[in-house]
Amino acid sequence: MRAMTIHIKRRIVQLAAALGINWYLFWPYLGNYTRAFCVPALNCWTCPAAAFACPIGAIGTSMANNLFPFYALGLVLLFGAVAGRFWCGWICPFGLLQDYTYKIPTYKLRIPHQLTYARYFFLFGTVFLIPYLANTTKINFFWCQFCPAGRIEAGIYEKFVHPAWPEIWRLLVLVGFVLFMIAAQRGFCRVFCPLGAIFGLCNKISFWRMTLSGQKCTSCGQCQKTCPVEHRFDTSPDSPDCIRCLDCKKCKFTAIGHGLALPGKGAHTGQTKDDA
Q: How far is the CB of 126 from other proteins (least distance, A)?
A: 13
Instruction: Give how far Cα 158 sits from Cα of 88, 153, 162, 264, Å.
Output: 26, 9, 6, 53
Q: How far is the CB of 226 from other proteins (least distance, A)?
A: 26
Cβ-based nearer residue to other proteins, 6 or 261? 261
CA 147 to chain centre: 13
Q: How far is the CB of 160 from other proteins (least distance, A)?
A: 12
Q: CA 95 to CA 192: how far, in whole Å?
A: 12
Cβ-based nearer residue to other proteins, 76 or 229? 76
Q: CA 175 to CA 162: how far, in whole Å?
A: 21
Q: Are 45 and 53 in contact (CB under 8 A)?
A: yes
Q: CA 199 to CA 76: how far, in whole Å?
A: 8
Q: How far is the CB of 36 from other proteins (least distance, A)?
A: 6
Which residues, in sequence order, are CB contacts of 55 under 8 Å at separation 6+?
Answer: 38, 39, 40, 72, 73, 75, 76, 195
By the criterion CB under 8 A, which residues form the site for other proteins?
A: 31-33, 35-36, 38, 44-46, 48, 53, 57-58, 61-62, 64-65, 67, 69-78, 80-81, 137-138, 144-145, 150, 154-155, 158, 161, 202, 204-207, 261-266, 269
Q: How far is the CB of 28 from other proteins (least distance, A)?
A: 9
CA 189 to chain centre: 5
Cβ-based nearer residue to other proteins, 158 or 275? 158
Cβ-based nearer residue to other proteins, 15 or 276? 276
Cβ-based nearer residue to other proteins, 112 or 263? 263
Phi–psi pair at 60, nearest 5 degrees: -65, -40
* N-term to C-term CA, the chain: 28
Cβ-based nearer residue to other proteins, 251 or 267? 267
Q: How far is the CB of 168 from other proteins (least distance, A)?
A: 14
